[in-house]
Structure 1
């Protein structure tokens, strides 16, 4: 009896000791590998999914609920006329190479982003900046050409992170930021490894090491989760298997929303898609719900314009491009665009590959044939995004509140509308919330009426994680896998 009690005590002590050894590393699954690791030098969402809030930080940042909170700027003051922002920076911030982060790095970063010839993918974020000055080491003054109610929001984007002049040119392959994790290794085609930065200015994350592993195949992603090779897959590519994870107590399924407007993008500058009647016909040929059911297994919200349904300014314009194959055929005949064959370029995500097959069948029903080409992500960026060499493509735009991309006639779908550009200029200088709502809604209606693209659905965030992990974002207010609050609970 005594021996039995001692054995039980030993087991309890051993169990307690094991509990103290809490796991501090994590492996995150991602569908796409980033083309580089510099968020100021590329448009791919996968860049921010690795480095946003983990490696790089901006003056402000997005919180998990979409609100804008302080980042490297501890506080700020806005002049009475709304044109001058004075930022007070946090003290004791260092880059991962040990050098101090000061106001001069902020000046460098913002001036670099807005310079002529900048490789920044979002130049509109900086277009209204007139001057950036370092008042002292911890104070920066930014002067705008007019009041801008979205400026603090813009500074939270990954494209606006603060970088050092010493490492800016090599951040693509060796990122050096100010975040709680520093870069260790990029094994291209496989993974990126980060480790906790011990000199971080803020609260230390619970995790010590993080690996982002790239698993593009849905079947391989399922197998990796089941085998425990991946601890969490925040954007899981096989929604048809989620029921298996829901039935397994080892896992938790996390379903939320994203900022990802998933669209059938059209090359507006290239015949026959420069004819609004052809674009309208394509829009009416699309059955959104069939795409959501067939490609996303029911996960997704139909959209009729480029705006997130969870945004309070959203206008439901799905009826404007309702599924109507008879109307589509009539419009094509009116435009003299019968017997069309269009090139449909598809990037790797399953929503694009699966959705493309469904859309091709729907277009065939109204007399439009498609030539499908499956592209790797780097090819898509080169040929479609930068080269304009496409007719149709499917992509999810995960940047927050990014309807302003339609004001750039050089953006890949090449929509050029002076009235829309003037509307965005007015929005940029408007701070009154009610007035901004009215302008946002007018913008949504304008691009829907012009049938710029085929608007499909808002991408759902369907994630799978080990049930002992907490702190992963449920929703995606920006394209990020923020690990700062992630921890193992057992």
Structure 2
């Protein structure tokens, strides 16, 4: 299914250059690659690759709506839009979980999740309002969790001929116009790491600091004038609401900062499903100029940002890069890194690609987001992966 051309899989290329597969026996599959690919085993572990054959035969290419798993918990019930119930699977092959039953309540509103946590109705709540960080952290019965996520937040530019954004000086100007530190302090309540010197997070393989885009509105105005826009210009920026931490407020702050240098931004707010549909259109069909977006990766390696968002093969609708950025030199270094098994050599290719991207400024580089979750103080042993996936296989209560 992953390689079936009739099934749309935007992240298909991340699995790597699989040439063919061979069934060896009931429990063994041999995979042949057309070239070295250092991430192959990591990617197998990062995506839900194995699905029950009877379920595949039943649903074919349609969305699978029946739950099939092989983990330490078994499925009990699912009330769509309300609750999912799991129970410990006592015949699990590995170590058995301590907690016998888990009930996941679906609460779309962050304020509702917070209220449930404060009232003691739930033991754990995820993606809480940033405005209430001190409230949770100061509660003796609760613990605030703020892990750094593998997710960068940025404004991408739809780069089209004859647009002001086609000039890299304009894109650089918009980067100098934004005070990232102020946004993080006043809007995100400290729940982010600014992308001052790189769009690669500091904890990733491939992070290499570059000349910062410091907040400098006068320099921004000068660059706009050099590019032929001394009085600024108008642009349309789309953004989701409720998808990322304080996303609507961040979009409004960017609008205000750009107005200070003469760039008038019309904001269009969308729910997430509508936003995704708009993002994935071909470049020629996009009726906007920029968008607030986040890109998360399962593995803290720069390749998955570079390839997923800056390689020309990943421009929408084929991939998930909505900004239409295309640079053959960047493609070259990403392609070299893709087949390099030595991490040190791979990091050098990342650095070369990142330097070009940083100079070209196809994004307003904003920040790496932190998560904000809360739990009851008696819950111990949970662990977090990628800053946003919480696991409870070893979790337990102290009372």
CA deviations over 1:294-352 (Å, ceiling 9, x no partner): 221112111143322112531123x4422221222222233334442222222123331
Kept in 1: contact 2:239–2:291 (CA 8 A):
yes
Q: Quick one: distance in 2 between partners of 1:471 and 1:274?
A: 50
* Alignment correspondent of 1:394: 292
* Distance of 2:143 and 2:107 partners within structure 1: 19
Partner of residue 124, structure 2: 232
Alignment of 1:300-311 (within 5 A): 300-303=192-195, 304-311=197-204
Which residue is 2:277 aligned to? 382
> CA–CA distance in 2 between the matches of 1:358 and 1:434?
39
User: Which secondary structure does the structure 2 equivalent of 1:321 belong to?
Assistant: coil
Counterpart position of 1:441 = 351
Partner of 1:9: none
Who is 2:36 aligned against?
A: 147
Gap change, CA 1:395 and 1:181, over 3 Å in 2: farther
- 8 Å Cα contact 1:148/1:428 also seen in 2: yes
Residue matched to 1:296: 188
Query: Is the 8 Å Cα contact of residues 309 and 458 (structure 1) preserved in structure 2?
Result: no
Report if aligned partners of 2:157, 2:289 keep a CA contact under 8 Å in 1.
Answer: yes
Aligned residues: CA RMSD: 2.3
TM alignment of 1:131-280, pairs within 5 A: 131-158=20-47, 160-168=48-56, 169=59, 172-236=64-128, 238-269=129-160, 271-280=163-172
Deviations 1:41-99 (A, max 9, x none): xxxxxxxxxxxxxxxxxxxxxxxxxxxxxxxxxxxxxxxxxxxxxxxxxxxxxxxxxxx
Structure 1 contact 341–369 (Cα < 8 Å) conserved: yes
| Contact 1:186-1:193 at 8 Å conserved across structures | yes
| Displacement after TM superposition at 1:184 (Å) | 4.4
Please give the alpha-carbon distance, in whole angstroms, between the structure 2 residues aligned to 1:350 and 1:462.
9
Q: 2:315 aligns with which of 391, 395, 409?
A: 409
For 1:482, the equivalent position in structure 2 comes to 391
CA deviation vs aligned residue, 1:118-138 (integer Å, no higher than 9, x gap) = 322311223411111111112
Partner of 2:256: 361
Question: Which residue, 236, 240, 251 being the options, matches 1:343?
Answer: 236
TM-score with structure 2 setting the length: 0.86
Paired residues of 1:398 and 1:478 also in contact (CA < 8 A): no
Conserved 8 A contact 1:320-1:448: no
Q: Write the distance in 1 (CA, Å) between the matches of 2:37 and 2:24.
A: 22
Tell me the distance in 2 between the aligned counterparts of 1:221 and 1:247: 17
Change (3 A) 1:314 1:189: same
Deviations 1:258-316 (A, max 9, x none): 10111112222473323322221211111110111122111211114332211253112
Q: Is the 8 A contact 1:472 1:482 kept in 2?
A: yes
Whether the aligned pair in 1 keeps the contact of 2:233 and 2:262 (CA below 8 Å) is: yes
- Under a length normalisation based on structure 1, what TM-score does the superposition of the two structures give? 0.71
Preserved contact between residue 263 and residue 455 of structure 1 (Cα < 8 Å): yes
Q: 1:81-120, aligned counterparts within 5 Å?
A: 112-120=1-9
Partner deviation per Cα, 1:427-468 (whole Å, 9 max, x = no partner)? 111101210121122222222111011111111122210111
Instruction: Please state whether the residue corresponding to 2:264 is helix, strand or coil.
Output: strand
SS at the partner of 1:155? helix
Q: Secondary structure at the match of 2:115?
A: helix
Per-residue CA deviation, residues 2-51 of structure 1 (Å, 9 max, x unaligned), is: xxxxxxxxxxxxxxxxxxxxxxxxxxxxxxxxxxxxxxxxxxxxxxxxxx
Q: Is the partner of 1:310 in helix, strand or coil? A: coil
SS at match of 1:166: helix
Measured after TM superposition, the shift of residue 183 of structure 1 is: 4.0
Deviation at 1:479, TM superposition (A): 4.7
Partner of 1:451: 361
Tell me the number of residue pairs that the alignment of Structure 1 and Structure 2 aligns: 375
What residue number does 2:207 align with?
A: 314
1:470, 1:120 → 2: CA distance? 37
Once the two structures are TM-superposed, the CA of residue 354 in structure 1 deviates from its matched residue by 1.7
Where does structure 1 lack aligned partners over 5 or more consecutive residues?
A: 1-111
Q: What residue in structure 2 maps to residue 331 of structure 1?
A: 223
Q: Identify if the C-alpha distance between structure 1 residues 280 and 183 changes in structure 2 by more than 3 Å, giving closer, same or farther.
A: farther
Gaps of 5+ in 2: none
SS in 2 for 1:113: coil
Cα separation, partners in 2 of 1:377 and 1:463, compared to 1, 3 Å: same
